[in-house]
Structure 1
Amino acid sequence: MKKKEWKWKRTRVSLKGKQKEQEFGQKKKELEKLKWYEKKGYIKLKYLDEAGFCLWSSASYSYSKKGEQKKIQQKKKRGKRLSILGLFSQEESFEYGLKLGGFQSKSYIEMINWQAEKAEDILKKTGKITVIVLDNYSVHKSKEVKKNLEKWRKKGLEFFLISAYSPELNLIETEWHQLKTHELSGRMFEDEYDLAMAVIDGIEKRSKKNNCVWERFRFD
């Protein structure tokens, strides 16, 4: 196969077929402009997204002795989904919150209120507004969330919605991939606590590699 220029690579799921090409192109241009503003020191960009984990993680490649194959004993308990809401600022910070089950408007608002306080502090100290890049997940646009937008803006916090089915525009997606592939892949956990500890440890390792400060938000 190598002689025929074939290479062994992991298959990647693509959403390009669902994208609206014109909208994607426009959003990409706008995001590039925001990146330029950040580079010039006018704003601070953060990339927000949610991800989920369970007690069973997918088996992956691993090293083993010749003639042997590594096996992972699957647990009977599937457990509850552990959700994470993260905000990634390239080469600066990784901020996140963990929650059993999915994120709803109430918990999302709690997290953004925390971010608004940080944005207000940044605005007072540097004059920069904070812009959060995020997708079109329904919670991000719920009625409860919209009621808080003006309050957050007054604190120096703005939002930039990327086009639908465009994970490549959100830098935090790479962090989720690295966390799941290199820190959690092929592991089974006894319970949700062990899973949460593994996620926290994985985030700390990734943050160190990225020269980022990490901080966890604790929900009420």
Structure 2
Amino acid sequence: MNQDFVLPSEPSYTYYKRGQQKRLEQTKRRGRRLSIVGLFQQESSCVYGLVIGGVERKAYIRMMEAEAESAAHSKRIRVIVQDNGPIHRCHEVQQLWSKWESQGLYIFLLAKYCSEMNPIELEWQHIKKDELAGQMFEDELELAYAVINGVEARGKKGNYPTIRIKFSSELVTEFFVT
């Protein structure tokens, strides 16, 4: 459900003449990480938000509250698959599970160390390896724009809409279709 991006991206695979080596110039400063949190439904949609640093528990809870309200409104059961990250299973979140279930939102936690079973993790890896590979970013803003463009490119390739959530401090405030 969430993933971190850093200023230097993974190197891409390329070919060079024998005896030459690919070089990536490092940025002059190490930036803070950029975290992405999202909800992905294959061939349907990707809702995501970006945060400098880590995703706060309150922002995650607000995002899940919005999903629970949407499930209740649509009267359709919604299941969200998550890894065992601390934010997904903290005490405050566990206390909300029964409330969310009564609204039609169910949280399914994957076994520990099995995040590859979650399709959104594959999307995050494709963004890193296909859309951002081999690039260097001067600052977190430049990285954020590259990630946004990467998510949009994945959406176009998969023929699904991307919806970016804007966080205001710890609350999910707005949804924007991109």
**TM-score, normalised relative to structure 1:** 0.70
The amino acid of 1:98's aligned partner reads L
Tell me, yes or no, if the aligned pair for 1:113 and 1:152 is still in contact at 8 Å. yes
Tell me, yes or no, if the aligned pair for 2:46 and 2:163 is still in contact at 8 Å. yes
Give a deviation string over 1:123-181, Cα, whole Å, max 9, x none. Answer: 2xxxx200001111121111211232233223211111111111232111211111100
Q: CA deviation at 1:102?
A: 1.3
CA distance in 1, matches of 2:165, 2:69: 13
Structure 1 residues 66 and 121, CA, compared in 2 at 3 Å: closer, same or farther?
farther
Please show how residues 186-205 of structure 1 align to structure 2 within 5 Å. Answer: 186-205=134-153
The structure richer in strand per residue is 2
Please show how residues 66-145 of structure 1 align to structure 2 within 5 Å. Answer: 70-123=22-75, 128-145=76-93
CA distance in 1, matches of 2:4, 2:160: 22
Structure 1 residues 65 and 116, CA, compared in 2 at 3 Å: closer, same or farther?
farther
CA distance in 1, matches of 2:38, 2:116: 16
User: Quick one: which of 116, 120, 133 aligns to 1:172?
Assistant: 120
Q: CA deviation at 1:63?
A: 5.5
CA distance in 2, matches of 1:135, 1:201: 25
CA distance in 1, matches of 2:134, 2:73: 41
The amino acid of 1:114's aligned partner reads A
The number of equivalent residue pairs is 168
Identity %: 48
Q: Which segments of 5 or more consecutive residues in structure 1 lack a partner in the other structure?
A: 1-48
Tell me, yes or no, if the aligned pair for 1:110 and 1:219 is still in contact at 8 Å. no
Structure 1 residues 68 and 52, CA, compared in 2 at 3 Å: closer, same or farther?
same
Tell me, yes or no, if the aligned pair for 2:97 and 2:107 is still in contact at 8 Å. no
SS of 2:162's equivalent in the other structure is strand
The structure richer in helix per residue is 1
Tell me, yes or no, if the aligned pair for 2:36 and 2:50 is still in contact at 8 Å. yes
Whose Rg is larger?
Answer: 1
SS of 1:218's equivalent in the other structure is strand
RMSD: 1.9
SS of 1:95's equivalent in the other structure is strand
CA distance in 2, matches of 1:215, 1:181: 21
SS of 2:167's equivalent in the other structure is coil
Q: CA deviation at 1:100?
A: 1.0
Tell me, yes or no, if the aligned pair for 2:10 and 2:128 is still in contact at 8 Å. no
Q: Which segments of 5 or more consecutive residues in structure 2 lack a partner in the other structure?
A: 169-178
